[in-house]
Structure 1
Amino acid sequence: MQTQATTAVRLEKISVQEADALSALCLRLYPQFYLYLWYDAGEWYQRTRYNPEQLRTELSDPASEFYWIYQSEEGLPVGYLKINLKARPAESTELTDNGLELERIYLLKEATGTGLGAQVLAWVAERAAALRRDYVYLYTMDSSQAIRFYEKYGYRKAGVKRLPFEQMKPEYRGMYLMIKEL
């Protein structure tokens, strides 16, 4: 039986002044996983979503928090996450406004399979509980293998939506809303 290596996760809040470094990491991360989704190999999406000015705007929003993900006490970040502190998904009428959204969780390919993702999900649930939120929710592509990962850690499918991006291939525009009650 093969066992999965586990590395202790360390999270550190990202400041507005680090927008350039976050942009560089995003532009390194995204091509490792998502270029097949797009007619233009993700060029439009990366240019509009991951440019330093766009990220500075997002980092300045007091309702959101970004964190570097490290897999050791030293070294460079191997990923990042973004949470929205108080939100309710539009695709669900069953939920209150007292949720926390896990909008992004991205790890470099070399950091996947190390146990970091599970630790980050646990940290997000702890952060939501500390803020007295009732649930955590996220969206994941309906074609993603991550669905099983999220289900393993207590998330359930609770709705669907479609992304509006014309640059994206239609077969990849479907998203599941997934919720974890706390």
Structure 2
Amino acid sequence: MKDIVHFEPLTQEKYATYITVGTKAYNQHYRHLWPKGDSAPYIQSSFTEEVLLQEEQDTNTLLFLIHHNKKTVGILKISLKKALDSYSREEALYVDKIYIIKEATGKGIGKKVLQFVELRAKELKKRIIWLDTMQKGPALHFYLKNGFKKHSTTEIPFPQAIEEKKPMFIMTKTVSKVSTLR
């Protein structure tokens, strides 16, 4: 069977799936950032029907379910216009969330997600794609391997997170121009 990765735009009928998969994937990878593993502050700010309804109504936000061979394995959230330093809102696309359940990691899905994001950025004539990632862990190595560079530092914006686990990098990738045949 050929590996097929499909991106389904989120609709209200699929909120429960997005919440379930997003929460599961987040907790599988990031529960260690929270005292006693209690990720509730983040989950409540990201994975409720109220939050999703607000995000879905925001024309600057795109939400997707990620499917691999017809199974929902992750979520993707993109902000179409979000400035970074000298890059204007029109020039920069922000990847807010890529969460893939542990059972589906290591199968090339993350790479397909980044290709999908880059294609969208090219269509929108963006100059850069940017995102935040933990300073320690497999995500950093994954982004570096896929052409992202360390830009600057930031930290988890939740006061409840464990202080020494808060450091993050802002990563950027220049969007290559779409080649045209003449």
Normalised by the length of structure 2, the TM-score is 0.87
Alignment match, 2:180: none
Matched, 1:25 2:21: yes
1:90-109 to 2 correspondence within 5 Å?
A: 93-97=85-89, 98-109=91-102
1:31-180 to 2 correspondence within 5 Å?
A: 31-41=27-37, 42-72=39-69, 74=70, 76-89=71-84, 93-97=85-89, 98-180=91-173
Tell me the CA shift for residue 8 of structure 1.
Answer: 2.7
Distance in 2 (CA, whole Å) between partners of 1:78 and 1:30 is 12
Distance change >3 Å, CA 143–CA 34, structure 1 → 2: same
CA contact (8 A) 1:19 1:59 kept: no
Letter matched to residue 86 of structure 1: K
SS of the residue corresponding to residue 168 of structure 2 reads strand
Distance in 2 (CA, whole Å) between partners of 1:88 and 1:103 is 13
Distance in 2 (CA, whole Å) between partners of 1:44 and 1:95 is 30
Distance in 2 (CA, whole Å) between partners of 1:117 and 1:21 is 19
SS of the residue corresponding to residue 35 of structure 2 reads coil
Task: For structure 2, list consecutive stretches of 5 or more residues without a partner in the other structure.
Answer: 176-182
Alignment match, 2:178: none
Alignment match, 2:9: 13
Distance in 2 (CA, whole Å) between partners of 1:143 and 1:94 is 27
Distance in 2 (CA, whole Å) between partners of 1:158 and 1:31 is 26
Tell me the CA shift for residue 32 of structure 1.
Answer: 1.1
Normalised by the length of structure 1, the TM-score is 0.87
Distance change >3 Å, CA 27–CA 162, structure 1 → 2: closer
Question: How high is the sequence identity, in percent, across the aligned residues?
Answer: 30
Distance in 2 (CA, whole Å) between partners of 1:16 and 1:151 is 34
CA deviation map 1:86-120 (0-9, x unaligned): 1112xxx3433311111111111111000011111
Distance change >3 Å, CA 164–CA 68, structure 1 → 2: closer
Distance in 1 (CA, whole Å) between partners of 2:117 and 2:45 is 27
Letter matched to residue 159 of structure 2: E
Letter matched to residue 52 of structure 2: L
CA deviation map 1:115-159 (0-9, x unaligned): 011111011101100111111111101123211111111110011
**Structure 1 runs of 4+ with >4 Å offset:** none
Name the count of aligned residue pairs.
172
Tell me the CA shift for residue 162 of structure 1.
Answer: 2.0
Tell me the CA shift for residue 47 of structure 1.
Answer: 2.7
| Backbone CA RMSD of aligned residues | 1.6
Task: For structure 1, list consecutive stretches of 5 or more residues without a partner in the other structure.
Answer: 1-5
SS of the residue corresponding to residue 34 of structure 1 reads helix
